[in-house]
Structure 1
Amino acid sequence: MLTIYEIRELVKLLEQTDIESVEVKDEQSRIAIKRSVHGTVPVVVAKPTVVAPIVNEPEKLVVVKEAPKPAVSAEPKVEPAKIDVNTENLHKITSPMVGTFYAAPAVDSPPYVIVGDKIHNTSIVCIVEAMKLFNEIEAEVKGEIVQILVENGQLVEQGQPLFLVKID
């Protein structure tokens, strides 16, 4: 039988993928985990299988509820600008790695940059969290932030544009 810690790890792995459900069986037990529409895993059901006949003992059903994650809206709200911009003459600041984009250093802090901010080569424009490491991303160019292309808390890919900058 899987321990509660192994089940929790399985749930965490499922949350990080596009897989909607997973089922694990062994000689003694069966566990099925299904993700809801919103990407959380609300219920885990484990049902032991009978290996030898047991007299006067009913089958057990275990239900574990995963605590809901806090809403991303509690973090600073930096939404991508919805303006039409000619991107040909603009520099794209891209993500150097796969991870989670954060616009501010903490939940209660203002964002590093907003549209219209002047930046320098060493200006920190955001954080990309990868494997519990928070990586500060520098602008590497001097100019003005024209557009923010991702939302706070959004997963980003390596090479994905994060900002558009009008170079000075």
Structure 2
Amino acid sequence: MDIKEIKQIVDLMKRADLTEFAVEEESFKLQIKRATEAPAQPQIVSYAAPAPQSPAATAAPSPAAAPAEAPAPTEDNSTYITSPMVGTFYSSPSPESPTFVKAGDSVKADSVVCIIEAMKIMNEIQAETTGTVVEALVENGQPVEFGQKLFRLS
């Protein structure tokens, strides 16, 4: 194998987005690995400046402002299935297939509830707890973050 063939293999790896390649011939062995770290995407964060308030407005809250305060905490015995990774949420194995779970379904710890695609790999997500699905908190095809709540169980 000459250098020209090796360069062709490297070009093929780039075009096919391969990270690893190995070939072995009679007395020749070649193994190529390449880093595929995607460049960090810049995140733009903007903050709104607080609106200036007059001294009279800050002296006493108006009666209309009282309902805007946080409601009294309610007793919520729900458990949540959260995303173990960043990726794209899919509620079924294919567009033609029925969803893994829907509201009212009972799940066990080993029940598959969805798929999260991460780096072109489909990862089946299991419930890891038992309960009844109350609602799905994510839409099909929506991107999800690590730790994001996917389903609410009772």
TM-score (norm 2): 0.52
Map residues 8-157 of structure 1 onto 2, 5 A cutoff: 88-157=76-145
Residue segments in structure 1 that go unaligned for 5+ positions in a row: 1-12, 20-85
Q: Report the Cα distance in structure 1 between the residues aligned to 2:43 and 2:141, rounded to whole angstroms.
A: 17
In structure 2, runs of 5+ residues without a counterpart are 1-37, 45-73
Radius of gyration: which is bigger? 2
Q: Distance in 1 between matches of 2:142 and 2:96?
A: 18
Change in Cα spacing, 1:17 to 1:137, as seen in structure 2 (3 Å) is farther
The alignment status of 1:163 with 2:151, answered yes or no, reads yes
Identical columns (%): 53
Instruction: Compute the displacement of 1:90 (Å).
Output: 0.6
CA distance in 2, matches of 1:87, 1:140: 23
**Offset from partner CA, 1:44-82 (integer Å, 9 cap, x none):** xxxxxxxxxxxxxxxxxxxxxxxxxxxxxxxxxxxxxxx
- Report deviation, 1:88: 2.2
What amino acid sits opposite 2:126 in the alignment?
Answer: E
- Kept in 2: contact 1:117–1:145 (CA 8 A): yes
State the Cα RMSD in Å.
Answer: 2.5
SS of the residue corresponding to residue 84 of structure 2 reads coil
Give the structure with the larger strand fraction: 1
Give the number of equivalent residue pairs: 88
Amino acid at match of 1:121: A
Distance change >3 Å, CA 87–CA 131, structure 1 → 2:
farther
Runs of 4+ residues deviating >4 angstroms: 16-19
